[in-house]
């Protein structure tokens, strides 16, 4: 049984709020959290207008669900998923809306079987929306998984889409739902396959080191984290994606030929299918 299941409703001073649920110290998941947010305000934050300056000065409404799972066993990868909707409005102008979201996988030890299953599930949920959809959003996930500071991949990607507003609302909404529902189909079989794998101090040490890279990525490069902080959201909930335990080590170098050394090659951009 998990030691704690935290339930945290919250209100945002600028308008709106959300709910968080965090499971801690479970037998399989060291920490797993889900955030729901629905916020609104008089002006779009900088993180949302950086690549769309025409939206500056518009009022906005945004809602989304995000989750991050940090397993206890180092052989089970960390996973992240989110889906979101934005609408920006201005008197005398048509509203601008879009959907975004996706999911990605961050393994500590690479298994080709798991990577193929993850990407096959992603491809299959995309197929009803067009054969070009998976290649387009798979590449987006790999690009958004790169840490510019460390110059390395965070994981093996999955799907990432943003600014989705064509061909119409119903089509985009259906795709967002497919991504949200497909996450469990992609992740849970991997958890079941790896959760009982024996591990020791070496694997745990490496897992905590790699979690440090995960923290770096989320705090410096993740657009969702930046949006939450810039809109005045509850910091505790925004940083729910942080793992409960991490470690940093200066100039860490895994032993050549070890499973730990093999990870850097495993997470390089490639076609898994």
For the ranges 142-151, 189-198, 203-212, the lowest mean pLDDT is seen at 142-151
Q: Helices marked H in 84-200 — which ranges? A: 112-126, 133-144, 169-194
At the fourth CATH level, the homologous superfamily of domain 4-266 is: Coproporphyrinogen III oxidase, aerobic (3.40.1500.10)
The domain spans of the chain are 4-266
167 vs 218, residue with greater confidence: 167
pLDDT digits (tens, 9 = 90+) for 130-165: 999 999 999 765 555 555 455 567 799 999 999 999
pLDDT digits (tens, 9 = 90+) for 46-83: 766 677 777 777 888 989 999 999 999 999 999 999 99
Query: Taking 90 as the threshold, does the pLDDT of residue 166 lie above it?
Result: yes
Q: What is the CA radius of gyration of the chain?
A: 19
For the ranges 50-64, 99-113, 192-206, the lowest mean pLDDT is seen at 50-64
> Per the structure block, which two tokens stand in for 132?
């070009």
pLDDT reported for residue 57: 79
pLDDT reported for residue 188: 98
pLDDT digits (tens, 9 = 90+) for 107-121: 999 999 999 999 999
pLDDT digits (tens, 9 = 90+) for 240-273: 788 999 999 888 899 999 999 999 999 988 899 9
In angstroms, the CA 54 to CA 72 distance is: 44
pLDDT digits (tens, 9 = 90+) for 16-36: 778 888 999 999 999 999 989
Q: Which active-site residues does the annotation give?
A: 80
Three-state DSSP class for residue 164:
strand
Q: Percent of the chain beyond pLDDT 90?
A: 58
| DSSP strand pairing (78-89 vs 96-106) | antiparallel
How are the residues of the chain apportioned to helix, strand and coil, as percentages rounded to the nearest 5?
40, 30, 35
Of the pLDDT bands very low, low, confident and very high (cuts 50, 70, 90), residue 170 is: very high
Of the pLDDT bands very low, low, confident and very high (cuts 50, 70, 90), residue 5 is: low
């Amino acid at each position: 049984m998990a030691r704690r299941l935290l339930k945290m409703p919250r209100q945002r001073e600028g308008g709106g709020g959300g709910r968080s649920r965090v499971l801690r110290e479970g037998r399989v998941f060291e920490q797993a959290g889900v955030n729901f947010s629905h916020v609104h305000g008089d002006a779009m934050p900088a993180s949302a207008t950086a690549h769309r300056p025409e939206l500056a000065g518009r009022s906005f409404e945004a809602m989304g669900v995000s989750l991050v799972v940090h397993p206890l066993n180092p052989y089970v990868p960390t996973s992240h998923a989110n889906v979101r909707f934005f609408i920006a409005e201005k008197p005398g102008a048509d509203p601008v809306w879009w959907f975004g979201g996706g999911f990605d996988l961050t393994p500590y030890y690479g298994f080709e079987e798991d990577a193929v299953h993850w990407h096959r599930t992603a491809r299959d949920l995309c197929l009803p929306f067009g054969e070009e959809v998976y290649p387009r959003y798979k590449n987006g996930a790999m690009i958004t998984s790169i840490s510019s500071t460390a110059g390395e991949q965070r994981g093996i990607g999955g799907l990432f889409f943003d600014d989705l507003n064509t061909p119409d609302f119903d089509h985009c909404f259906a795709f967002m739902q497919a991504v949200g529902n497909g996450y469990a189909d992609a992740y849970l079989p991997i958890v079941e396959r790896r959760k009982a794998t024996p591990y020791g101090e070496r694997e745990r040490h490496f897992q905590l080191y790699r979690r440090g890279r995960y923290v770096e990525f989320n705090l410096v490069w993740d657009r969702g984290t930046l949006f939450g902080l810039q809109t005045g959201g509850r910091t505790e909930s925004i940083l729910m994606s942080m793992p409960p335990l991490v470690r940093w080590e200066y100039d860490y170098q895994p032993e050549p030929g070890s499973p730990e050394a093999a990870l850097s090659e495993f997470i390089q951009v490639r076609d898994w299918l």
